[in-house]
Amino acid sequence: MRRKLIAGNWKMNCLKADGMALAKAVFDKARGDLPFDVLICPPMSLLGMVAALPHTIGVGAQDVAVAPKASGAYTGDVSAEMVRDLGATHAIVGHSERRALHDEEDFIVQTKAARAIEAGLTAVICIGETLEEREAGKALDVVTDQVRGSVPVIATAENCVIAYEPIWAIGTGKVPTTADVAEVHAAIRAELAAILGSEIAEGMRILYGGSVKPSNAKELLAVDNVDGALIGGASLKADDFWAIAETQM
The residue ranges that bind ligand PGA (CB under 6 A) are 9, 165, 170-171, 209-212, 230-234
Class of residue 6 by CB neighbours under 10 A (exposed 0-12, middle 13-18, buried 19+): buried
Q: Which is nearer to ligand PGA, 14 or 212 (CB)?
A: 212
Q: State in angstroms the smallest separation of the CB of 175 from ligand PGA.
A: 9
**Integer distance in angstroms from the first to the last C-alpha of the chain?**
16
Q: Which is nearer to ligand PGA, 104 or 165 (CB)?
A: 165
Q: Which is nearer to ligand PGA, 4 or 196 (CB)?
A: 4
Q: What is d(CA 11, CA 73) in angstroms, rounded to the nearest whole number? A: 26
Q: Which is nearer to ligand PGA, 19 or 209 (CB)?
A: 209
Question: Nearest to ligand PGA by Cβ — which residue?
Answer: 232
Q: State in angstroms the smallest separation of the CB of 207 from ligand PGA.
A: 9
The residue annotated as part of the active site, out of 81, 129, 133, 165, is 165
Q: What is d(CA 60, CA 37) in angstroms, rounded to the nearest whole number? A: 13
Class of residue 33 by CB neighbours under 10 A (exposed 0-12, middle 13-18, buried 19+): exposed
**Catalytic residue status for 102:** no
The residue annotated as part of the active site, out of 95, 104, 129, 191, is 95
Q: State in angstroms the smallest separation of the CB of 172 from ligand PGA.
A: 7
**Catalytic residue status for 95:** yes
Q: Which is nearer to ligand PGA, 111 or 211 (CB)?
A: 211
Sign of CA dihedral 89, 55, 209, 229: positive
Q: What is d(CA 86, CA 78) in angstroms, rounded to the nearest whole number? A: 11
Q: How far is CA 22 from the centre of its chain?
A: 19
Q: What is d(CA 171, CA 192) in angstroms, rounded to the nearest whole number? A: 27
Q: State in angstroms the smallest separation of the CB of 241 from ligand PGA.
A: 10
H helices within the chain, ranges in order? Answer: 16-29, 44-52, 80-85, 96-101, 106-118, 131-135, 139-150, 178-196, 198-203, 217-221, 238-246
Of 43, 54, 36, nearest to 12 by C-alpha is 43
Q: State in angstroms the smallest separation of the CB of 135 from ligand PGA.
A: 19
Residues belonging to the active site: 95, 165
